């Protein structure tokens, strides 16, 4: 299993990348959200716009509302539980 690393800057991402948002170090995996990066503003380095809920219509995620999200609370890829997550950084280092 490949270790995951929290994203540090929006420059590490591209539109269309799958990401998992981990809101806090104390939350359970059922509180994590999987989404796709919809927009990256060149002037903003610490957040990107992510679509989290599109009723499974991921091929058309561009047609759905996105949410500005801090990149330091995201890992690349869709992670669904702690067994899939091996962090290079510990959650307490991030939060």
pLDDT for 93 beyond 60? no
pLDDT value of position 66: 97
Number of compact structural domains in the chain:
1
pLDDT value of position 95: 47
Which CATH number do you get for residue 25? 2.30.30
Q: What are phi and psi of 68, to 5 degrees?
A: -65, 130
In a domain, 88, yes or no: no
Grade residue 65 by pLDDT with cuts at 50, 70 and 90.
Answer: very high
pTM exceeds 0.95, yes or no: no
b or e along 34-48 (b: 16 or more beta carbons within 10 Å of the residue's beta carbon)? Answer: bbbbbebeeeeeebb
Q: Are strands 33-39 and 18-21 parallel, antiparallel or unpaired?
A: antiparallel
Q: Are 73 and 87 in contact (CB under 8 A)?
A: no
Domain range holding 38?
10-79
What SS3 state is found at 87?
strand
In a domain, 5, yes or no: no
Q: For residue range 3-55, what is the model confidence (pLDDT) as tens digits? A: 568 899 999 999 999 999 998 878 888 899 999 999 999 999 999 999 998 88
């Amino acid at each position: 299993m490949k270790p995951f690393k929290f994203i540090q800057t929006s420059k590490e991402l591209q539109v269309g990348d799958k990401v998992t948002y981990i809101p806090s170090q104390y939350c359970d995996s059922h509180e994590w959200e999987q989404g796709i990066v919809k927009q990256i503003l060149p002037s903003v380095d610490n957040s990107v716009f992510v679509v989290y809920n599109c009723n499974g219509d991921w091929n058309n995620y561009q047609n759905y509302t996105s949410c500005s999200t801090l990149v330091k609370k995201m890992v690349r890829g869709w992670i669904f539980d702690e067994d899939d997550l091996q962090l290079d950084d510990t959650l307490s280092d991030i939060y």
